[in-house]
Each structure stands twice: as structure tokens, then as C-alpha cells.
Amino acid sequence: MKRRNFLLSIGAAALSSPAFAGETPADDGVAAALASTLANQQAYPASGMVAGLCGAQGQRIVIQGTSDAANGRALDGDTVFDIGSITKLFTALVLADNVARGHMAMDDAIAKYLPPDVRVPDFQGQPITLLDLVTYSPGLPGWPANMPKLKLGPFPEYPTEQLYQALAKATLTVPPGTQYVYSNFGYGLLGLALAHHAGMDFESLVVSRICRPLGMESTRITPTPAMLARKTPGHFQKLVKVAGWDIPPAFAGAGAFRSTANDLLKFLAAAMGLKASSLAPAFAQMLKTERPADKPDTRVAAGWFITSAHQDRLIWKDGGVWGYSSFLGYSALHPNGVVVLANGITDADALRLGKHLLNTEFPAQG
């Protein structure tokens, strides 16, 4: 599995508003970068990609390739993709919103927000906190020890009780908060804690606290009939179509959502402060604490990764599940934001492409 998300180790430009100035490439450059990425994918090809770009002068959608959907629907900004670990930003934002409202504190122990019969390990009396979970340093492994192996086909059945059993048996070998570990186990646990605290399931929580305030009506775990009609299939080797993963509640907070470029642009515009939002204090809260990641030029905040290079500061998150890859990010120094959604390709290629579209000094391909 790739280190940052769920992906297994296995056209023409359409303008909706005026073009950008500054670091973002012109439309022809964006389309060319997407086309080049598609053309160079052999192991995990995609039939198409959608890029959404936003900034001080507006936003636009750039499309390359096709959806390969059975109904023949073309790709556009409303095409539905599985977005994998972009979901972690929603989880982090709900937590940050609770903190901004005074309902939680980042240094609260996670055990405070779980059912009373759930045993949570500690390190020599030091508990796992909400901050440890949301900044990728919980002291837990990437997956629970009792997690079935991920392979081609549906996501394995994994009841929430099974995650709690694995948690009870886990042994922390380092103090929480001291070592970067990209943990789907940790984010699944955080999603469960937030849902338990709110008294509702995780999807309903995200819809009520994020999707409705931001107008993201095509962002759900369980697609509506209208979303299903606009969904593109994922792809594996030789453009073989694959069904998306239905990720169980145990890991909903780590990667279960589907969305569109237009919806994610709404999220991005709010995160960048381009659009007024009741969630502005929560977005600010997400960036209050930074911790080391696994590369010298990159740190982690609540949900976000932060890369400082090429005289820029990129704030981003990538995602990948079976058959799909994604990227969402913006520059903190220039008013540019980018969403990339693909019905194939690897998460590493989506990440490189997304950074390149934010700042062309970052190479589009590795």
C-alpha cells in the first residue's frame, strides 16, 4: 500500500471563469500535463482525468480523456469519483470544528470519546490524544493487526468491533506524538470517536457539519441515485474497469467518501479563504500544529501535508482507492488551488501532477 493513502500496490479545456495570473499554468499547459500523465501510465492507466483550479480570479475545470462510463456520460466537473484519503481532511475538519467551538480539546485522550468498554493502549501512562491521531503520529500501525489483506475485489468485511479488539491488543512502542506513521487505523478510530461523540454515523456527521454548510451536495459515502448516474468507473491494468471499494464504518474516517471536482473546489475555496464560510475558524485550527513527516521538506498538520520547496509552501492531501486517485491542495504564498481526480493512475502520479499544477517548478512526473 502507498504510504499516504488507500491505493493498493498493485479532451479539451472547459472554462467557467476568467483565467488565472501567476504561478498556475495556462489552460493549454494544464491539459497537456493531464494528457502526458495519462499517456505515461502503463501499470495503472486511466481513461480520463478532471482538474479543478481556483484562485483570486475565479475557477475553471480542465478535462482530459473520457469517463468510460456505461451510460456514455462525458467527464465534467460533476463526475463522481472515489476520493479515498481526501476523506481524512473531512475527518480533521470536523475535529477542528469541535475544537474551535469548544466542544473538544486537541490534547484530550481519544478514550474520552469512545464507548466506555473500549480499551485504548497508552505508552507508560501517556495516552493517545486527538492531536496525535489527526497529525499522523498515534503510535499505532498503518492497519490493525487483524485486518484482512487488501487485494483485487471488494474491500474486506471488517466490523467496528474487530477494530476495537485490535486496539485493545495493540502495544505502543513509542510515545504518541513523537513518530510519523500514516495510519488508516488511527484515522478510522478518530472517525469512530467523532461519530460516537456526535451520536450519529460518520457520514451524517460530515454531511451536517461540512457538506451542507459548503453546498457539497455530491459528496457522500453512499452515492445518491443522481450521483450514481454521474459516476465514472475506476480502472486497473489494461484499462480493466473495477468496482469502487465500499469501505466499512470502521475505516470511514480514513477514506470512504466520493465526490466531484466542483464540490471539492467549494471545499478548497473555503480552506483558502476565497469564500466566506462558517468553517473558517476550523480551517485555521487545522494548521495550528505542525509535526515532522517522512521527508525533510514536508511536515504534517491536522489532515494536511505541507511541503516547502521551490520558494513555495504547498498545503495538500492526496488519496487513492482501488481504481481511483486524487489530489487536493493550494499554495499558501500564491492564490492558487488545484483538485485532480482520475479514474486510474497511481496516487504518486496524482500527487506529482497536483504539485506541478500549483507550481511548475515541481516536476509533473518522476
- Amino acid identity, residue 47? S
Q: Is 2 domain-assigned?
A: no
Max Cα distance, the chain (Å)? 58
Q: Tell me, what's the pLDDT at 46?
A: 94
Helices and strands, number each (H, E), in the chain = 12, 13
Stronger pLDDT, 153 or 185, i.e. the higher one: 185
Confidence of residue 153 (pLDDT cuts 50, 70, 90): confident
| 3-class secondary structure, 52 | strand
Q: Is 7 domain-assigned?
A: no
Q: Is 175 domain-assigned?
A: yes
The torsion region of residue 215 among left (phi > 0), alpha (psi -120 to 50) and beta comes to left
Q: Tell me, what's the pLDDT at 21?
A: 31
* CB-based contacts of 125, cutoff 8 Å, min separation 6: none
Q: Check pLDDT > 80 for residue 17.
A: no
| 3-class secondary structure, 283 | helix
**Structure-block grid coordinates of residue 203:** 457520514
Q: Tell me, what's the pLDDT at 27?
A: 56
Confidence of residue 110 (pLDDT cuts 50, 70, 90): very high
Q: Is 30 domain-assigned?
A: yes
How many CB atoms are closer than 10 A to CB 43? 11
Q: Tell me, what's the pLDDT at 184?
A: 98
Q: Is 280 domain-assigned?
A: yes
- Inter-residue contact 136 to 182 (CB < 8 Å): yes
Q: Check pLDDT > 60 for residue 23.
A: no
Q: Is 210 domain-assigned?
A: yes
259-312 pLDDT per residue, tens: 999 999 999 999 999 999 999 999 999 999 999 999 999 999 999 999 999 999
* CB-based contacts of 215, cutoff 8 Å, min separation 6: 266
Q: Check pLDDT > 60 for residue 359.
A: yes
Q: Cα 54 to chain center, whole Å?
A: 18
201-256 pLDDT per residue, tens: 999 999 999 999 999 999 999 999 999 999 999 999 899 999 889 999 999 999 99
CATH number, residue 247 = 3.40.710.10
Q: Is 78 domain-assigned?
A: yes
Q: Which structural domain range is residue 48 located in?
A: 13-358
Query: Span 345-361, mean pLDDT?
Result: 94
Quote the percentage of the chain above a pLDDT of 70.
92
Query: Span 184-191, mean pLDDT?
Result: 98
37-87 pLDDT per residue, tens: 999 888 789 999 999 999 988 899 999 999 999 999 999 999 999 999 999
Pairing of strands 305-309, 298-300: antiparallel
- Inter-residue contact 92 to 112 (CB < 8 Å): no
Phi and psi, residue 215, nearest 5°: 75, 30
Confidence of residue 10 (pLDDT cuts 50, 70, 90): very low
CA distance 335 to 358: 10
Q: Is 3 domain-assigned?
A: no
Q: Check pLDDT > 90 for residue 365.
A: no
**Nearest Cα to Cα of residue 350 among 7, 93, 97:** 7
Average pLDDT over the chain reads 92
**Structure-block grid coordinates of residue 154:** 471488494
Q: Check pLDDT > 50 for residue 4.
A: no
Look-up: residue for cell 474516517?
A: 253
For residue 252, the surrounding DSSP H or E stretch is helix 252-255
- Inter-residue contact 352 to 345 (CB < 8 Å): no
Q: Check pLDDT > 80 for residue 2.
A: no
Q: How many domains would you assign to the chain?
A: 1
